[in-house]
Amino acid sequence: MDKNIIMNAADIRRTLARISHEIIERNKSTQHLILVGMHTRGVPLANRLSGNIEGFEGISVPVGALDISLYRDDLSSLELQPIVKSTDIPVNIDNKAVVLVDDVLYTGRSTRAAMDALIDLGRPHSIQLAVLVDRGHRELPIRPDYVGKNMPSSRHEEIQVRLKESDGIDEVAIISIPTKEEQS
């Protein structure tokens, strides 16, 4: 099993600074913006983006937290069932530009679930997607608007994002897990 660090703390900081600028650039005014982090690691990422935007533009952008457990399309077939966390969106999302924030974009199914969850809460003007790592292998027609790092990966690999807020360290690693045949 190999583990390679693909982003360290400084890389993550620079990448989030760049994404923050891109969000400001694309949305021109930050007035109607809301950042919504997807549990678990999307939430601290959204908070950091909001902090950056406040630093650059002097405007504080509201941050929400979204739990998608109840919207998953694989809920009845999952061997391990996720613990539901509280969804907390501080403002009405009607006519807002919502930027969904997640750590890793993979099949796109979580994003699909997140969009369903958001639309149950109101009618946003638009939904955009920001991810720290895009590892490919999409199963749905979903593409991110803001990407930290494109990391083409094999399905036998895991992308592990660790953040100070949840894991005590800022780090993105790629871990190759041997397939069953290789193990035996």
Q: Provide the binding-site residues for other proteins, judged by CB under 8 A.
A: 1, 39-41, 67, 69-71, 75-88, 104, 116-117, 120-121, 158, 160-162, 167, 175, 177-178, 183
Toward other proteins, which CB reaches closer, 26 or 73? Answer: 73
Structure token pair of residue 10: 């400084």
Toward other proteins, which CB reaches closer, 54 or 158? Answer: 158
d(CA 137, CA 154): 8
b/e code 9-20 from CB counts within 10 Å (16+ = b) = eebbeebbeebb
- Quote the least distance from Cβ 6 to other proteins, whole Å: 14
- Quote the least distance from Cβ 25 to other proteins, whole Å: 31
Toward other proteins, which CB reaches closer, 22 or 157? Answer: 157
Toward other proteins, which CB reaches closer, 11 or 158? Answer: 158
Cα of 57 vs its chain's centroid, Å: 22
- Quote the least distance from Cβ 7 to other proteins, whole Å: 15
- Quote the least distance from Cβ 37 to other proteins, whole Å: 13
Q: Which residue has the tokens 């919502």?
A: 98
Toward other proteins, which CB reaches closer, 158 or 165? Answer: 158
> What is the residue type of 179?
T
Q: Which residue has the tokens 């193990």?
A: 183
Give the C-alpha distances (Å, rounded to integers) separating 95 from 102, 123, 125: 22, 6, 4
Cα of 9 vs its chain's centroid, Å: 17
- Quote the least distance from Cβ 81 to other proteins, whole Å: 3
